[in-house]
Amino acid sequence: MSYTKENKSEAKALEDFEAVVARAIKKVGARKENELCKYIPMTTGGYMHHFTLKKMKRREPKELATLIEKFILSPTAPSSVSPKQRAPRGSRKKKDYPHLNRTQIEQMIALARNANAKEILALLTPKKSLTSLKKELIQSIRQERVEETLWESYVEAVFAHS
């Protein structure tokens, strides 16, 4: 099997790339190739993600070698890049609505019942299981009380169950 000039140049380029990576790993005292990411800044802020490093290694090794040369091998003491600022945990929660405790929710349910606001009642009351609805319905019948909302929620639960 004979190599063409193109294959030889590709092999040489790969060899050169591997040598650049090995020198960079040795210079920063890293154990793995992925640790080089912390020394390569990105335009979006922070340092290079290890997935980006792997992708560039496969698709654009010359460009990655240039970045390694520029940020790791050229400086006398390469500095690690601070990580990209991320949103704190829980920041995606909606802040428009107040957080209510159990007693406040029960007070709102009582107000909604007095105002006969069925939509609000449906939003505030938690969905009950079919068995708990059966128990409450039987209990209301024994106490000779008629609760339309309880019956409606029982019917909805039966339809949802089937």
Residues 79-134 pLDDT 10s: 888 888 887 776 666 667 778 888 888 898 889 889 988 888 878 877 788 888 89
**Gyration radius of the chain's alpha carbons:** 33
Whether residue 18 is predicted with pLDDT greater than 80 in this model: the reply is yes
pLDDT of residue 152: 83
Contact of 37 with 28, CB cutoff 8 Å: no
Q: Which two tokens stand for residue 156?
A: 């909805």
Which of 5-9, 67-71, 136-140, 141-145 shows the lowest mean pLDDT across its residues?
Answer: 5-9
Contact of 57 with 66, CB cutoff 8 Å: no
